[in-house]
A and B are shown apart, each in its own frame.
Chain A
Amino acid sequence: MPLSAPATQPLIALRDVVKVYATPAGDFPALKGITAEVYPGEFVGIIGKSGAGKSTLLNMITGVDHLTAGEVVVRGPGDQQPVSIHQLGENALAHWRGRNLGVIYQSFQLLPMLNLVDNITLPMDFCGLYRPFGSRGRALELLRLVDLEGHAHKLPAYISGGQQQRVAIARALANDPPILIADEPTGSLDSLTAETIFELFEKLVGQGKTIVMVTHDNSLAPRFTRRLYIADGALVEAESYASQ
Chain B
Amino acid sequence: MLAMRPRWRKVLADLWENKARSLLVIVSIAVGVFSVGMIAGAYVIISHDMGASYASANPANIEMRTAPFSDELLAALEQVEGVEAAEGRCFTSVRVRTGPDSWTSLNLVSVADYRESQINLLVPLEGAAEPGRREVLLERNGLEKIGAAVGDVLEFELPDGTVRSMPVTGIVLDQSSNAGDFLASPLAYVSFDTLVWLHQPETYNRLYVTVSSDSNDEAYIRQVADAVNDRLERSRCQVYRTHVNKTNEHPLQSTVQAILGVLGALGVLIVLLSSSLIANTLSALLSQHQRHIGVMKLVGGRTFQIFGMYIVLILVYGMIALLIAIPLGGQAAYALAQLIADQMNFNLLGYRIVPLAFLIQTVIALGVPLASGFVPVNNGSRATVLQAVSGYNPGAVQSGWIDRLTSQAAERLTWISRPLLIALRNTFRRKGRLALTLFTLTMGGAIFVAVFNVRSALNNYLDSIGHYFLADVALNFDRPYRRNEIEDVALRIPGVEAIEGWTYASAEVLRPDDTVEVNLQILAPPAGSTLVSPNLLSGRWIEPGDEKVITVSEGMLEHYPDLQPGDTLRLKIAGQEDEWTVVGLFKFVGVQGLVGYASYETISDLLTQPNQAFTYRIVTDQHNYAYQDQMAATIDRHFRDLGYHVSLAEAGSDSLDTAAESLDILITFLLIMALLTATVGSMGLAGTMSMNVLDRTREIGVMRSIGAVDWVVMRTVIIEGLIIGLLSWFMGCIVAVPITSLLSAIIGQTVFATPLDFTYTVTGVAIWLGLVLVLSALASVLPARNAARLTIREVLAYE
Q: Could you tell me which A residues sit within 8 Å of B by CB distance? A: 59, 62, 64-65, 90-91, 94-95, 97-99, 103, 105, 107, 109-111, 113-114, 118-119, 121-127, 130, 132-133, 136, 171, 174-175
Contact = CB atoms under 8 A, between A and B. Distances in A.
A130 B5 contact: yes
25 contacts: A59-B386, A64-B385, A94-B302, A95-B302, A97-B300, A107-B389, A109-B291, A109-B295, A111-B292, A111-B296, A113-B10, A114-B10, A114-B13, A118-B9, A122-B7, A122-B10, A122-B301, A123-B299, A123-B300, A126-B301, A130-B5, A130-B6, A171-B299, A174-B299, A175-B300
For the residues of A in contact with B, the DSSP-based class is helix
Contact of A97 (B6, B9, B298): B298
Contacts of A123: 299-300
Contacts of B295: 109-111
The list of the 4 closest CB pairs from A to B, nearest first, reads A98-B300, A113-B13, A123-B299, A132-B3
A89 to B, nearest CB: 10
B303 interface: yes
Contact of B7 (A95, A109, A126, A175): A126
A107 B291 CA distance: 12
Contacts of A113: 10, 13-14, 17
Given A64-B385, A105-B389, A133-B3, A118 B301 contact: no
Contact of A126 (B3, B292, B296, B384): B296
A97 B2 CA distance: 27
Given A59-B386, A97-B298, 7 more contacts: A98-B300, A109-B295, A113-B17, A122-B7, A122-B301, A127-B300, A133-B3
B17 to A, nearest CB: 5
Contacts of B388: 109
B2 A136 contact: yes
Contact of B301 (A98, A105, A114, A171): A98
A121 to B, nearest CB: 5
Interface in B1-42: 2-3, 5-7, 9-10, 13-14, 17
B297 interface: yes
Contact of B386 (A65, A99, A125): A65
A91 B302 contact: yes
Nearest to A98: B300
A64 B389 contact: yes
B316 to A, nearest CB: 15
A237 B6 CA distance: 46
Nearest to A103: B298
Interface string B359-390: 00000000000000000000000001110110
B401 interface: no
Contacts of A65: 386
A122 B303 contact: no
B797 to A, nearest CB: 10
Contacts of A97: 298-300
Contacts, number: 85
Contacts of B13: 113-114
B300 A118 contact: no
| Most B-side CB within 10 Å, residue of A109, A113, A127 | A113
| Most A-side CB within 10 Å, residue of B5, B6, B17 | B6
A5 B389 CA distance: 31
Contacts of A99: 300
B303 to A, nearest CB: 6
A107 B295 CA distance: 11
Contacts of B300: 94-95, 97-99, 123, 126-127, 175
Contact of B302 (A118, A126, A132, A174): A126
Given A111-B292, A114-B9, A126-B7, A91 B2 contact: no
Contacts of B14: 113
A175 B304 CA distance: 20
| Most A-side CB within 10 Å, residue of B296, B303, B304 | B296
Given A113-B13, A114-B13, A122 B299 contact: yes
B213 interface: no
A123 B299 CA distance: 5
A103 B300 CA distance: 11
Interface in B285-324: 291-292, 295-305
Given A91-B302, A91-B304, A126-B305, A133 B389 contact: no
| Most B-side CB within 10 Å, residue of A90, A103, A125, A133 | A125
Contacts of A124: 6
A13 B297 CA distance: 23
Nearest to B16: A113
B3 A122 contact: no
| Most B-side CB within 10 Å, residue of A64, A105, A123 | A64
Nearest to B297: A94
B386 A121 contact: no
Nearest to A130: B5
A123 to B, nearest CB: 4
Contacts of B2: 132-133, 136
B20 to A, nearest CB: 15
Given A91-B304, A111-B10, A126 B299 contact: yes
Contacts of B7: 122, 125-126
A122 B6 contact: yes
Interface string B84-98: 000000000000000
Nearest to B300: A98
Nearest to B17: A113
B298 A109 contact: yes
Nearest to B8: A125
A118 B10 contact: yes
Nearest to A64: B385
Interface in B393-451: none
B225 to A, nearest CB: 74
A96 to B, nearest CB: 8
Contact of A122 (B17, B296, B302, B386): B296
A226 B414 CA distance: 62
B299 A98 contact: yes
Contacts of A121: 6
A51 to B, nearest CB: 14
A18 B14 CA distance: 40
A233 B451 CA distance: 68
Contacts of A95: 300, 302
B50 to A, nearest CB: 52
Interface string B199-241: 0000000000000000000000000000000000000000000
A195 to B, nearest CB: 25
Nearest to A118: B6
A213 B385 CA distance: 18
A105 B302 CA distance: 20
Contacts of B303: 90-91, 94
A230 to B, nearest CB: 18
Contacts of B17: 113
A127 B13 CA distance: 21
A91 B234 CA distance: 91
B459 to A, nearest CB: 56
B291 to A, nearest CB: 8
